[in-house]
Amino acid sequence: MSPTITVQQLSKTYQVPEREGGFGAAVRSFFKRKYKDVKAVQQVDFKIEQGEVVGFLGPNGAGKTTTLKMLSGLLHPTGGKAEVLGFTPWELRPDYLRSMTLVMGQRNRLSWDIPAADSFLLNQAIYRIPDDEYKKTYKELDELLELEPLMKKPVRNLSLGERMKCEIAAGLLHRPKVLFLDEPTIGLDITGQVRIREFLREYNKRTGATILLTSHYMADVTALCERIIIIHHGNLKYDGGISDLSKKIAPFKLIGMMLTEPDSHDLSKYGEPVQNEEDAAKKYIQVKAEDVTRVTSKLLADLPIHDITITDPPIEDVIEQAFNQ
């Protein structure tokens, strides 16, 4: 079976008007506008199989949203190919649009002034969902997201977290096979994030839907995705298992030590000292993975150590390291 999503050499270059600051420059730019090419996505390749949940990571402006928009069909690429469920997304075939969804955390699809239930019914008509199927899907979504209490209030009276639940549900009423989620938890508090995360995991398990999501919250990604794709300055930096990431990008381990006189020892000769705000009582150093055993035994021999731990560096740090490469 061919992969659900295939992306080959996908590229997108924007032309962005550019001018110096200041009044004179504004007037000059009115008559003669200069454009600059911005390469948002550069020859990106990847494949995603049916049922996979893939985290799409990168700093702001890395090209994540542009890629999602091309895959959902909103943007035409300037180069390369993409195929989702056998369709070329930007042809915008109704059959394609009925089998995918794009949920953007910062955009609203629900009407502000009426309860979400009414907007849901409009979606039912737009996506031609038969009544019995609609009821079934709604019941399932209600079970997972506890929508019922939210359905009767106008959307403008819902909290951000409640609204996001409704927005996501609205995007799933037609039972899409592919979900593109752009920052689905943005602005939510921890409980809200966890709810959405748990929902997505359960939804993926129940329906076998393929999910590609971007998020600024690393916890979203570590909780949901076994595989991540990292993109930076439009280039693909990493594509693989989340557990292999630290091996490949940052083959380091963290050694944490509890010392009798913490500040009287020079740790820099054993490895690179690292700050850890959460655990200030311990001293941390970062060493290469292959040196861990050697350095540990040396440390134990040289220093008055009460306690020692060896851990992988936090995923955030690893990814940041990937960005800086």
Partner 1 sequence: MHTLKLLSSFFKVNVQMSLAYRADTVVNILLNLMWLGWELLSLNIIFSNTTTLGGWGFAELIALLGVFRLVNTLMMALIWPNTEKFNQSIRDGSMDYTILQPVNSMFLVTFSRITVWRIWDLILAITLIVVGINMTGDTTTALHILTFILLATTGTIVIYSLWIVLIALTFWFTKFDNNVTILHALLDSGRYPATVYPVWLRVIVTFIVPIAVATTIPLQALRGDLNLGQVAIFFFVGVGSFIIASQVWKAGLKRYSGASS
Q: Which positions touch partner 1 (CB under 8 A)?
A: 14-15, 40, 65-66, 69, 72-76, 90, 92, 94-95, 97-98, 102, 104, 106-109, 111, 113-114, 118-119, 121-122, 125-128, 154
The smaller minimum CB distance to partner 1, of residues 91 and 261, is found at 91
Report the relative pairing of strands 305-311 and 252-259 from DSSP bridges: antiparallel
Minimum distance between the CB of residue 167 and partner 1, rounded to whole angstroms?
Answer: 10
- Of 56 and 238, nearer to partner 1 (C-beta) is 56
Judged by CB, which is closer to partner 1: 66, or 185?
66
HSE-up of residue 53 (Cα within 13 Å, Cβ side): 22
Judged by beta carbon, residue 33 or residue 294, the one nearer partner 1 is 33
In angstroms and rounded to an integer, the radius of gyration of the C-alpha atoms of the chain is 24
Minimum CB separation from partner 1 for residue 215, in Å? 19
To partner 1, the closest distance from the beta carbon of 145 in angstroms equals 20
Partners of 190 in beta bridges: none
Minimum distance of partner 1 from residue 136's CB (angstroms): 20
Q: For the range 235-241, what are the long-range contacts, defined as Cβ-Cβ under 8 Å and sequence gap of 24 or more?
A: 235/42, 235/43, 235/44, 236/44, 236/45, 236/46, 237/58, 237/322, 237/323, 237/325, 238/322, 239/46
Q: How far is the CB of 278 from partner 1 (least distance, A)?
A: 37
DSSP state of 75: S
Question: How far apart are the C-alpha atoms of 26 and 19, rounded to whole Å?
Answer: 7
Residue 214 CA to residue 221 CA, distance in Å, equals 8
Closer residue to partner 1 (CB): 90 or 323: 90
